[in-house]
Amino acid sequence: MLETPDFSLIDINSFNYALPDNRIAKFPMENRDESKLLVHHGNAIAEDIFKNVSSYLPVESLLIVNNTRVVRARLFFRKATGANIEIFCLEPLEPTCEIQMAFQQKGEAVWQCMVGNARRWKSEILQTELCVNAERIVLHAQKIKKNEGTYLVKFQWNQDLSFAQVLEALGKIPLPPYLHRDAIESDSQTYQTVYARFDGSVAAPTAGLHFTADVFESLKNKHIKLSDLTLHVGAGTFKPVGHEGLENHEMHTEQVLVSKALLHDILKYEGKITAVGTTSVRTLESLYWFGVKLAENPEAIFNISQFDPYQSDWNKDVTGTEAIRNILKYMEKKNLEILGGSTQLMIVPGYRFRVINGMITNFHQPRSTLLLLISAWLGDEWKSVYSYAMENDFRFLSYGDSCLFL
């Protein structure tokens, strides 16, 4: 595989396909684990339902999931004039940029946001309120400045509540725009994995939506170890690559948390690791590149940019085992049980995977960086996979069916 692909030669139009609106799953299956499962191994394609996924995974292997939790990031305000303003919270800026700390913030915070109907919001301070358990929750929003399509918004609210509590009371689940519908109450459960733990995402790690207690029991019976990590999914995951090409596409930066226990599991199960979702894939592969950085600089920061793997002067002979051991040494030196960082990693055709041996994922949008990641794994075979899915009534995108690529 190529290590330094020429991004200008990767034609994003080659990663397009016809996706009729009626093939996009607007609602989830009644039972999560009864979604269809496409299994691709070698050049063979098989079809099953997700509750049988353990039948296709190696015995005594490792399955890694993303335990992030989707927050109710969409806030709605109504001006005195009657105009409706929607504020979509993307990422915290003040007093902290660390997502989980930001959700515990009380009283005041500044966030980067997208604003719907922004032209109707001048300089006035917006207000919305709700009574919860006889307590009146009041939230104020002040637009500070515009910043390349987004806005800095200052929020103020009851001092005794965390921002997480405010969003839970006043916010709505941020469904993907391609669903073309408003969130309903059931989405607060169905657009959330059953193992979600840590607030921080504005989009679900959708490959994990198919898991149930029964599926976990079947994995346990096959001695498949479950481990987790955290990558907080940003809205940029829905951004298609434009006509300006890959070399000019800016990947979204997402915050990552991994435990020392996960790193030990990666070493123990080397060669038998399946990642659930592209978010888990990107996190695990980002760990490899952080380990490479540490080989050059023991004080490096866990911050992987989108083009880091394609730097010609990087030492790509570092093995996956060496990279993970470098991180463990770093964590022991820093006395860390949890490693925090960020990644902007873009995986494109020509990339060589260092950590994973398989992935579970959904079907992705045309012209998306997620589809490029799938192509990096499958090569041109992705076209056969997607054609098979289209011809055999698979449901696409977030609430759609799943794939297992081995």
3-state SS string for the chain: CCCCCCHHHCCHHHHCCCCCHHHECCCCCCCHHHCEEEEEECCEEEEEEHHHHHHHCCCCCEEEEECEEECCCEEEEECCCCCEEEEEEEEEEECCCCHHHHHCCECEEEEEEEEECHHHCCCCCEEEEEEECCEEEEEEEEEEEEECCEEEEEEEECCCCEHHHHHHHHCECCCCHHHCCCCCCCHHHHCCCCCCCEEEECCCCHHHHHCCHHHHHHHHHCCCEEEEEEECCCHHHHCCCCCCCHHHCCCCCEEEEEEHHHHHHHHHCCCCEEEECHHHHHHHHHHHHHHHHHHHCCCCCCEECCCHHHCCCCCCCCCHHHHHHHHHHHHHHHCCCEEEEEECCCCCCCCCCCCCCEEEEECCCCCCHHHHHHHHHHCCHHHHHHHHHHHCCCCECCCCCEEEEC
* pLDDT, average across residues 373-392: 97
CATH of 7-69+190-405, picked from 3.40.1780.10, 3.40.1010.10, 3.40.50.11540, 3.40.50.720, is: 3.40.1780.10
Q: Determine which of 156-165, 209-218, 317-326 has the lowest per-residue pLDDT on average.
A: 156-165
pLDDT of residue 238: 66
> What is the residue-averaged pLDDT of the chain?
92
Is there a cis peptide before residue 92, judged by omega within 30 degrees of 0?
Answer: no
Q: Is the pLDDT of residue 124 over 70?
A: yes
Considering only residues 311 and 226, tell me which one the structure prediction assigns the higher pLDDT. Answer: 226
**Model confidence band, residue 3 (pLDDT cutoffs 50, 70, 90):** low
Q: Is the pLDDT of residue 108 over 60?
A: yes
pLDDT of residue 12: 87
Q: Say if CB 191 and CB 29 are below 8 A apart.
A: no
* pLDDT, average across residues 172-185: 92
Radius of gyration of the chain (CA): 21
pLDDT of residue 382: 97
**Model confidence band, residue 234 (pLDDT cutoffs 50, 70, 90):** confident
Q: Determine which of 29-43, 147-161, 294-308 has the lowest per-residue pLDDT on average.
A: 147-161
Q: Determine which of 43-52, 124-133, 180-189 has the lowest per-residue pLDDT on average.
A: 124-133
Q: Is the pLDDT of residue 43 over 90?
A: no
* pLDDT, average across residues 102-120: 92
For 227, phi then psi, to 5°, come to: -135, 165
Token pair for residue 357?
């041996």
pLDDT of residue 1: 43
pLDDT of residue 172: 94
pLDDT of residue 149: 81
* pLDDT, average across residues 316-344: 95
For 148, phi then psi, to 5°, come to: 50, 60
Instruction: Report pLDDT digits (tens) over 253-290.
Output: 899 999 999 999 999 999 999 999 999 999 999 999 99
- The model's pTM: 0.93
Token pair for residue 299?
């004080």
pLDDT of residue 243: 65
**Model confidence band, residue 2 (pLDDT cutoffs 50, 70, 90):** very low
* pLDDT, average across residues 320-336: 97
Look at residues 391, 375, 403, 384 and name the one whose alpha carbon lies nearest to residue 11: 375
**Model confidence band, residue 62 (pLDDT cutoffs 50, 70, 90):** very high
The distance from CA 123 to its chain's CA centroid, rounded to whole angstroms, is 34
Instruction: Report pLDDT digits (tens) over 188-219.
Output: 999 999 999 999 998 999 999 999 999 999 99
Domain residue ranges of the chain, discontinuous segments joined by +: 7-69+190-405, 73-171
Q: Is the pLDDT of residue 233 over 90?
A: yes
User: CA dihedral in degrees (295, 61, 400, 365; nearest 10)?
Assistant: 30
pLDDT of residue 4: 62
Q: Say if CB 51 and CB 214 are below 8 A apart.
A: yes
Look at residues 33, 37, 57 and name the one whose alpha carbon lies nearest to residue 45: 37
Q: If you count them, how many residues does the chain have?
A: 406
pLDDT of residue 10: 84
